[in-house]
Chains A and B, each alone.
Chain A
Amino acid sequence: QQPVQSPQAVILREGEDAVINCSSSKALYSVHWYRQKHGEAPVFLMILLKGGEQKGHEKISASFNEKKQQSSLYLTASQLSYSGTYFCGTDGSGGSNYKLTFGKGTLLTVNP
């Protein structure tokens, strides 16, 4: 079951904040977040595991609400380098699986 990402696209000015959501109709064990710049391969950002933990990486952080079966990625004080497509990948198998199901992505554009 493919997770649903929202919004599909967002345009920001440098310094503004954004939130990208990832929702699943199935119970989730883990949520991965990746960023892909145009024409390049996706780059791993972070993993959130069942337990509702929040993780952070510089000005990018994420939360995981297992009861709501959703994760949110928070980008604060956005920089031009944050532009790209953000994908969430989910696993609902309980951790015994080897594969992820990716959402369709959220295109983030940061303008000067």
Chain B
Amino acid sequence: SQTIHQWPATLVQPVGSPLSLECTVEGTSNPNLYWYRQAAGRGLQLLFYSVGIGQISSEVPQNLSASRPQDRQFILSSKKLLLSDSGFYLCAWNGGYSNQPQHFGDGTRLSIL
């Protein structure tokens, strides 16, 4: 069966520091991968998605970036974090087009001080 791993679960970072969040999927090949951010009490905002190695689509211009160095690995990065980057970051995968369900990782709760 397919599983998705996301880490770390919790992260506290100072303003201006770099960020690296990692997500890996097991049990499937060539998944579509997604990064979402959820502000407290808010909906799911799509940040990036990828349909293949090295292919990244950005939905929201900001100081975050994403990379997909391997088929089942998706990384969210920032060179300098802002206070507004705080939130709950979720990685998800699915097996194809939008008629396939998305399956979410457990998320990373990021606090910027």
Q: How far is the CA of A34 from the CA of B32 in the complex (A)?
A: 18
Asked whether, in the complex, the Cβ of B43 is within 8 Å of the Cβ of A99, the reply is: no
* Interface residue tally for chain A (C-beta within 8 Å): 27
Q: What is the chain A residue whose CB lies nearest that of B45?
A: A102
Asked whether, in the complex, the Cβ of B49 is within 8 Å of the Cβ of A98, the reply is: yes
Q: A100 in the interface, Cβ–Cβ < 8 Å?
A: yes
Q: What is the chain A residue whose CB lies nearest that of B48?
A: A99
Q: B74 in the interface, Cβ–Cβ < 8 Å?
A: no
A95 is contacted by which of B49, B99, B102, B103 (Cβ under 8 Å)?
B99
| B-facing residues in A1-47 (Cβ within 8 Å) | 2, 29-30, 32, 34, 40-44, 47
Q: How large is the interface on B (under 10, 10 to 19, 20 to 34, 35 or more residues)?
A: 20 to 34
Residues of A within 8 A of B34 (CB): 99
Asked whether, in the complex, the Cβ of B104 is within 8 Å of the Cβ of A99, the reply is: no
Q: B29 in the interface, Cβ–Cβ < 8 Å?
A: no
Q: B56 in the interface, Cβ–Cβ < 8 Å?
A: no
B104 is contacted by which of A41, A101, A104 (Cβ under 8 Å)?
A41
B contacts with A: majority SS: loop
| A-facing residues in B76-103 (Cβ within 8 Å) | 90, 97-103
Q: How far is the CA of A41 from the CA of B103 in the complex (A)?
A: 9
Q: B22 in the interface, Cβ–Cβ < 8 Å?
A: no
Question: Taking beta carbons and an 8 Å cutoff, which residues of B are in contact with A?
Answer: 32, 34, 42-44, 46, 49, 51, 57, 59, 90, 97-107
Question: Taking beta carbons and an 8 Å cutoff, which residues of A are in contact with B?
Answer: 2, 29-30, 32, 34, 40-44, 47, 49, 87, 89, 91, 93, 95-105
A-B residue pairs in contact (CB < 8 Å), sample of 16? A30-B99, A32-B102, A34-B102, A40-B106, A42-B104, A43-B104, A44-B102, A47-B101, A91-B99, A96-B97, A97-B97, A97-B98, A99-B98, A100-B102, A101-B46, A103-B43
